């Protein structure tokens, strides 16, 4: 029986040693389908997910992950990739979707809303994402901060800021994936310790793609969870204002 959300969150642990038990690739794929339902900045969905089941590719990734047990014993690997470089295609996809949606819904005057959303995707998003060697981003950062002296303004406009935005969205999706896996009794371990260049080569990724994390997938060995869960006391991280 599938676990509730709270049960899945409590069940999920970073498992570093897995049993030699096959996973249903279609079930893992279904969990990735849940991943893409995660919230994402401006609905740009600047992510890709690679479900690695091929033994040869998996071995390359194990090597790139420096032989970590969480990769070496995993039955499958899922690579979460941030694709900030695809922002133009994602903007185009959003505009096409919105045009079709507005065309279907003619029950009320939508001119103001249409103008706002199309200006957002056709003007605002390009003004933030367009850059050249970080120079435009720095200039935009200075201009936006001057504007910020007089009113609230979006300040994350540098190249480094937009990379962070893409990675945050990818990480939100990765969490959806891992909780979905936990809900059906499958285990995962997110890994950042890897040679990302080797991973990109193994998957044939372009230079603009960035590895967000590699997730080991399998069924846990009892000793595959390294100790009891530790969290900083809740009152140290929770603030009500």
Residues of the chain above pLDDT 90, percent:
80
**Superfamily, domain 5-84+170-226:** NADH Oxidase (3.40.109.10)
Count of other CB atoms within 10 angstroms of residue 144: 17
Tens digit of each residue's pLDDT (9 = 90 or more) over 117-144: 999 999 989 989 988 888 888 888 888 8
Question: Which of 58-67, 121-130, 149-158 has the lowest average pLDDT?
Answer: 149-158
DSSP 2: P
Q: Catalogue the E-assigned strands of the chain.
A: 47-52, 76-82, 187-191, 210-218
Mean pLDDT of the chain: 94
More confident residue, 143 or 80: 80
Average pLDDT over residues 51-79: 98
The DSSP annotation for 39-62 comes to --GGG---EEEEEE--HHHHHHHH
Q: How far apart are CA 78 and CA 173, in angstroms?
A: 12
Domain coordinates in residue numbering, the chain: 5-84+170-226, 87-160
Q: How far apart are CA 28 and CA 22, in angstroms?
A: 11
What are the helix and strand counts (H, E) for the chain? 11, 4
Residues of the chain above pLDDT 70, percent:
98
pLDDT on residue 185: 97
pLDDT above 90 for 1: no
Q: How far apart are CA 83 and CA 46, in angstroms?
A: 5
pTM above 0.75, yes or no: yes
Assign 155 a pLDDT band (cuts: 50, 70, 90): confident
pLDDT above 80 for 209: yes
What tokens were used for 134? 């970080």
Length of the chain, please?
241
pLDDT above 90 for 110: no
Backbone angles phi, psi at 72, to 5 degrees: -65, -40
């Amino acid at each position: 029986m599938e676990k509730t959300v709270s049960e899945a969150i409590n069940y999920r642990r970073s498992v570093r040693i897995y049993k030699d038990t096959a996973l249903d690739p279609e079930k893992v794929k279904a969990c990735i389908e849940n991943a893409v339902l995660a919230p994402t900045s401006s609905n740009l969905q600047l992510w890709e997910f690679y479900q690695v089941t091929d033994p040869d590719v998996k071995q390359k990734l194990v090597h790139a992950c420096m032989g970590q047990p969480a990769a070496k014993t995993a039955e499958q690997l899922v690579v979460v990739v941030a694709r900030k470089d695809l922002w133009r295609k994602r903007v185009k996809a959003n505009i096409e979707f919105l045009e079709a949606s507005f065309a279907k819904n003619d029950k009320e005057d939508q001119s103001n809303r249409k103008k706002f959303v199309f200006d957002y995707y056709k003007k605002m998003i390009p003004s933030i994402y367009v850059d050249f060697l970080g120079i435009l981003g720095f200039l935009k950062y200075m201009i936006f901060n001057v504007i910020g002296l007089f009113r609230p303004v979006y300040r994350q406009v540098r190249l480094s800021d937009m990379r962070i935005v893409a990675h945050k969205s990818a990480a939100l999706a990765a969490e959806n994936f891992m909780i979905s896996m936990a809900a059906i009794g499958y285990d995962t371990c997110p890994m950042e310790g890897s040679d990302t260049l080797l991973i990109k080569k193994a998957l044939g990724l372009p230079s603009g793609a960035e590895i967000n994390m590699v997730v080991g997938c399998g069924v846990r060995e009892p000793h595959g969870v390294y100790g009891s869960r530790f969290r900083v006391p809740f009152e140290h991280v929770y603030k009500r204002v």
